[in-house]
Amino acid sequence: MKYFILETNSVNSINNKHAGSKARIDSDAILLKLGYQPIILEPVFNSKGESFFISIKEHIKKYFFLRKKLSILKAGDELVIQFPIVNHSILFYFLVRELVNKYVHITLLIHDIELLRIAMLDDVKLKRKLRLSLEELSVLKYAHKIIVHNSRMKDILCKKYNFGHERLVELEIFDYLVPENCKNNNVDKGLPVIIAGNLSFDKAGYLLNLPNDISFNLYGIGYKNAIMHSNVSYKGAFLPDDLIENLSGSFGLVWDGETSDTCSGVYGNYLRYNNSHKASLYLAAGYPIIVWKQSALAIFVNKYRCGISVESLSELKNKISDLSTEEYEMLKENANTLSSKLKSGFFLEKALGN
């Protein structure tokens, strides 16, 4: 039998006006479509802010709760786990090891990996690195199959942590499920560049020094009216499934970090390995994308010819101006081709081998 863990707190968060949980919710829907049976996990125990001993006690409770839920699995069954699990426990590794010893085939679908976002930074304390090793690396090493974002993530995990290449499968990009008839007709080379997502300055500090020779339309949560430039328009926040029909622009920008000169800091550097979900949003809406030239997504853009890559946002005006009408229409056509695939769950289905 084929199973997957369905965490109901991910489903319930669909009403938030950000897409933080949409990738998980869409993956649940794709797995259901492919015939995987859900093992439903409700939210349990919150030890955040508690003392060390109470926290350990709650992690033990979570372990036994999860163990009971997964006791239906038998030898030969397959379990897909969206990783990291939301109801995580520092003891989750022991549970995965027990399942492997029962000859259950474990497939991990990576959403985020702190080993690459946090642990590789020089100023992270050893204690935190050790905890990440326990929580993530120990689980990854036991999985039979790991669906990683892209070839860059695959290569760094194999090189740094000695994973066998045959265990790691590239997703390429996250799917973005919306009805096929969900269209956006406000796509034109002469319109502003779109920036969608979390607009708080601690994550997107680059918003404070956007180039002033090109216009931007902003969509999302966390926006502060500190940006008073005439070339920047804030359009509001929308539910993930409603956002596509409300977008208007020429390209969708995938950028993170503290400056518009490059992608820097924790979030910016993470783009070297991570597939930002906002790329899926833009492409599902039919927009070509703009990515950092050193990001993993630049490889995807080059392969599918669905956008442009830049080292700095100061390059945008010339890069866009230099595109002929025919070149822009080709990028848009390729984005529309990808749109149909993203809306159908094509990339996860391919990675699962179905």
Residue 12, pLDDT > 50, answer no
Across the chain, mean pLDDT equals 90
**Under DSSP, is residue 136 helix (H, G, I), strand (E, B) or coil?**
helix
Q: pLDDT grade, residue 227 (50/70/90)?
A: low
Residue 161 vs residues 119, 158, 196: alpha-carbon distances, Å: 13, 6, 34
Cα–Cα distance between 207 and 189 in angstroms, integer? 21
The predicted pLDDT at position 59 comes to 80
Decide if 225 contacts 248 (C-beta within 8 A): no
- Tell me what the mean pLDDT of segment 18-39 comes to: 91
Residue 206, pLDDT > 90, answer yes
- Tell me what the mean pLDDT of segment 4-31 comes to: 77
Express each pLDDT in 108-155 by its tens digit.
999 999 889 876 666 667 777 777 777 889 899 999 999 999 999 999
> What are phi and psi for residue 308, nearest 5 degrees?
-130, 155
| Two structure tokens written together for 105 | 């085939």
Residue 10, pLDDT > 60, answer no
Express each pLDDT in 274-323 by its tens digit.
999 999 999 999 999 999 999 999 999 999 999 999 999 999 999 999 99
DSSP 49: T
Which position has the higher pLDDT, 248 or 88? Answer: 248
Cα–Cα distance between 323 and 190 in angstroms, integer? 11
Residue 57, pLDDT > 90, answer no
The whole-model pTM stands at: 0.92
Q: pLDDT grade, residue 7 (50/70/90)?
A: very high
Domains, in order of start, for the chain: 2-170 (3.40.50.2000), 193-343 (3.40.50.2000)
The predicted pLDDT at position 46 comes to 61
The predicted pLDDT at position 48 comes to 58
